[in-house]
Amino acid sequence: MAILNIITEEDPTLRRVSRKVDEITPRIIRLLDDMRDTLHKAQGAGLAAVQVGVLRRVVLVEVEEGKTIELINPEIIASSGKQNEVEGCLSLPHKWGVTDRPMSVTVRALDRNGNTFEMTGEGLLARAFCHELDHLDGKLFTDNAVRMVDESELG
């Protein structure tokens, strides 16, 4: 597996809309595996393919150590509640902001075998789903941050 380069906000690729995955090929499987290695090395909670320069609708989320969720062509099909929490991003190092996100989110996606599944996340997992799916549409958390937070405020 390979550790991929995570692009930062200066790269205009982050603002582009990712394309749907029409077929799960060995190249997509390798992308998932490489993204997992990259996410673990970066110690993040999630990673979208666009963050490694690949404009495909592929996302990984890991808010619980060792439980990586792979999402291909994900879409939010339901959400409820509200949370107002601090968020950061691997593509915006040392930037933090308070965002409004749903407390509960249900996503529908394909797994690496092409099977459709649904998963509901609460709290941090819901926030991670929203954050990573925003990346697929060229959006960054700073676009909807209520306010930015200085690192010294994080404790």
Q: What is the pLDDT of residues 104-119, one digit of tens each?
A: 999 999 999 999 999 9
Nearest to 62 by CA among 76, 51, 48, 77: 48
Nearest to 56 by CA among 30, 77, 90, 38: 30
Domains and CATH numbers, the chain: 12-154 (3.90.45.10)
pTM reported for the whole predicted model: 0.95
Series of mean pLDDT values for 10-residue runs along the chain (155 residues): 93 98 97 97 96 98 94 98 96 95 98 98 97 98 93 74
Choosing from 62, 70, 87, 132, which is the catalytic residue? 132
- Active-site residue 9, yes or no? no
- The burial class, CB within 10 Å (0-12 / 13-18 / 19+), for 125 is buried
What does the block give as tokens for 61? 């989320």
* pLDDT mean across residues, the chain: 96
